[in-house]
Amino acid sequence: MGLSRKSYWRFSKTLATNCGLSNAILEKEGLTSIRELWCKVHHPATAR
């Protein structure tokens, strides 16, 4: 990956990474979706 600060960012945008690590696979592994957490915080089910 080299010594660039952006190496991980660029690697995460590759087709192989996006196909191999889909949201379904990450969820199956028990990882929490940052998007879902954000939605729960900013759009709670109960009214304030």
In angstroms, the CA 26 to CA 48 distance is 32
pLDDT at residue 4, rounded to an integer: 64
Q: The whole model's pTM is what?
A: 0.50
Instruction: Please give the structure tokens belonging to residue 12.
Output: 């995460």
Domain ranges of the chain: 7-42
Instruction: Please give the structure tokens belonging to residue 9.
Output: 């960012």
Over the stretch 1-29, which tens digit does the pLDDT of each residue have? 556 676 777 777 888 887 888 888 889 99
Please list, in sequence order, all residues whose beta carbon lies within 8 angstroms of the beta carbon of residue 8, skipping any fewer than 6 positions away: 1
